[in-house]
């Protein structure tokens, strides 16, 4: 899913809130305008001053947004059908107004102005429609003119169904799809070479008539290179429960989701990361200063080290407090024969001679990793996720290991709280892969809480 789709779908929430709020305020001031007062005097000025009305309006607006969410109006998708969406908006707002009327009836209270209630209902439907219309137009304009957030698609298939999908994509460029390659036949090797092209981010298997073995090969390859895979359903319905359905020219396409971390889950997780890392950095800056001073007094070299790591297939610099001598990476080659890690490409040596005295203390209580909060704030990693590994280690990954690259790496994760560096590499991968396939916010909270417990009980990092 493109970042632009997340942005535009998220933008609907404040726009809807503002439109409903404006509708209510407009209804209030319309009712209290001199023109209407001459026609019908205001009788509720004492019982319903604007300040009290605004509080009620804000509460009702929040309730309306909850109804919107439950009705699917905030479901993240590349394209939205305007008529269908407008009908759902009208139904949801009407349901909200009806719920408010029923609530007032049950508590034996009548709203001070039926005119305001009725006018807010009508204006809210109109204003929300206008707000969403302009958001949709803006998204279509950016997609159609500047290709912002477009999916570059490789289509496989040459039958009538395939042609229908290709025609629909070409007819509606604002859907956000661009066909960059088309293979009428399933030539596995040529398709693999095309998928390696960085411009391809989605493969559409538009024809269901190919051999299962060949299609599974393409699917695994897309998984390895983190490329989306959509198909006309009749083969893989039982492969996963994490699916998303699009329709092109009346033909349903199913997209296999390798992780439930998508859409609003991704937005919420990023929000938690920003809040958590910003709070941590604000509270810990005195500790950072003190630790930096101690590191400088103990040995020569910088306070922080920037280590090359990989997250979601992208290389970045991971921040840590320096716990080793200056030329630690150069000395690693001489120590590889002493590697104590059980299997896999990772290096671990408990009595590593490169570690400084202060570094040894920092590692024992795992405080050397706190500067990674900077990486979390920058969006390079998350608070919780698979462990970020070195480029040379990932180069030795087997195909099934690469599943952990589907989502952002984390400061802590299921593997770290489940055994850390004492785990064999394959066990670590299994735990991280389980997290990728079964992500939930509840699981993240559990891992964060358990991390604090591990900080005081586990010394496997030494």
Token pair 């970042």 in the structure block, residue: 3
**How far is residue 73's CA from residue 125's CA, in Å, rounded to a whole number?**
14
Tokens of 24: 């209510």
| pLDDT, greater one: 208 or 180 | 180
Closest CA to 74 of 133, 8, 173, 147: 8
Query: What CATH architecture does domain 151-256 belong to?
Result: 3-Layer(aba) Sandwich (3.40)
Alpha helices, DSSP H only, in 308-367?
A: 328-335, 357-364
Give me the percent of the chain exceeding a pLDDT of 70: 80
Q: Where in the chain is the domain with CATH 3.40.50.720?
A: 151-256
| pLDDT, greater one: 198 or 61 | 61
Write down the pLDDT at residue 372: 95
Write down the pLDDT at residue 197: 74
Q: What is the DSSP track for 98-152?
A: HHHHHHHHHTT---S-HHHHHHHHHHHHHHHHHHHHHHHHHHHHHHHHH-TT-EE
pLDDT > 70? residue 244:
no
Per-state percent for the chain, helix, strand, coil, to nearest 5? 55, 15, 30
Write down the pLDDT at residue 240: 47
Q: Quickly state the pLDDT bin for 247 (edges 50, 70, 90).
A: low
Q: Among the listed ranges 5-9, 234-238, 431-435, which one has the minimum average pLDDT value? A: 234-238
β 251-256/228-231 pair status: antiparallel
What b-and-e string marks burial along 161-180, b requiring 16 or more CB atoms within 10 Å of the CB?
bbbbbbebbeeeebbbbbeb
**pLDDT of 280-311, one tens digit each?**
999 999 999 999 999 988 888 889 989 899 98
CB of 5 closer than 8 Å to CB of 149: yes
Average pLDDT of the residues of the chain = 81
**pLDDT of 26-65, one tens digit each?**
998 887 777 766 666 665 554 678 888 899 899 999 999 9
pLDDT > 50? residue 429:
yes
Backbone φ and ψ for 346, nearest 5 degrees, come out as: -85, 155
| pLDDT, greater one: 445 or 79 | 445
Backbone φ and ψ for 39, nearest 5 degrees, come out as: -75, -40
Closest CA to 124 of 32, 28, 53, 19: 19
Closest CA to 426 of 457, 411, 410, 404: 404
| pLDDT, greater one: 118 or 338 | 118
Give me the percent of the chain exceeding a pLDDT of 90: 23
Q: Is 437 helix (H, G, I), strand (E, B) or coil?
A: helix
**How far is residue 166's CA from residue 222's CA, in Å, rounded to a whole number?**
20
pTM for this predicted structure? 0.70
Write down the pLDDT at residue 236: 47
CB of 423 closer than 8 Å to CB of 415: yes
């Amino acid at each position: 899913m493109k970042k632009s789709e997340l942005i535009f779908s998220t933008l609907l929430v404040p726009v809807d809130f503002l439109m409903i709020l404006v509708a209510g305020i407009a209804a209030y001031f319309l009712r209290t305008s001199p023109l209407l007062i001459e026609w019908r005097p205001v009788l509720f000025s004492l019982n319903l001053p604007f300040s009290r009305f605004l509080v009620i309006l804000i509460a009702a607006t929040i309730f309306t947004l909850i109804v919107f969410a439950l009705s699917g109006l905030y479901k993240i998708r590349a394209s939205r059908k305007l008529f269908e969406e407008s009908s759902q908006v009208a139904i949801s707002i009407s349901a909200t107004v009806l719920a408010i009327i029923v609530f007032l009836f049950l508590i034996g209270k009548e709203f001070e102005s039926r005119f305001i209630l009725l006018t807010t209902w009508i204006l809210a439907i109109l204003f929300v429609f206008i707000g969403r219309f302009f958001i949709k137009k803006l998204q279509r304009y950016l997609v159609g003119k500047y290709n912002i957030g477009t999916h570059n698609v490789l289509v496989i298939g040459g039958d009538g169904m395939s042609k229908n999908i290709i025609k629909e994509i070409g007819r509606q460029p604002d859907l956000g799809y661009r066909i960059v390659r088309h293979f009428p036949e399933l030539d596995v090797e040529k398709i693999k070479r095309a998928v390696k092209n960085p411009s391809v981010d989605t493969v559409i298997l538009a024809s269901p008539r190919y051999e299962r073995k060949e299609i599974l090969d393409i699917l695994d390859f897309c998984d390895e290179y983190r490329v989306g895979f959509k198909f006309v359903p009749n083969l893989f319905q039982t492969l996963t429960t994490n699916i998303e359905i699009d329709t092109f020219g009346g033909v349903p396409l199913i997209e296999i989701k390798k992780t439930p971390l998508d859409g609003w889950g991704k937005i919420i997780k990023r929000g938690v990361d920003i809040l958590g890392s910003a709070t941590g950095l604000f509270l810990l800056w005195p500790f950072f200063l003190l630790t930096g001073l101690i590191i400088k007094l103990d040995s020569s070299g910088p306070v922080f080290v920037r280590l090359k790591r990989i997250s979601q297939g992208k290389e970045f610099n991971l921040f840590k407090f320096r716990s080793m001598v200056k030329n630690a990476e150069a000395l690693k080659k001489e120590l590889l024969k002493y590697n104590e890690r059980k299997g896999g490409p990772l290096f671990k040596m408990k009595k590593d001679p490169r570690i400084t005295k202060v570094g040894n203390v920092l590692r024992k209580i795992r405080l050397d990793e706190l500067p990674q909060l900077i990486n979390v704030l920058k969006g390079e990693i998350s608070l919780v996720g698979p462990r970020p590994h070195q480029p040379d280690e990932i180069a030795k990954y087997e195909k099934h290991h690469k599943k952990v690259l589907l989502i952002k790496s984390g400061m802590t994760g299921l593997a770290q709280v489940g055994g850390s560096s004492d785990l064999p590499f394959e066990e670590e991968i299994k735990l991280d892969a389980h997290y990728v396939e079964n992500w939930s916010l509840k699981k993240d909270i559990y891992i964060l809480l358990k991390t604090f417990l591990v900080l005081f009980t586990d010394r496997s990092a030494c």
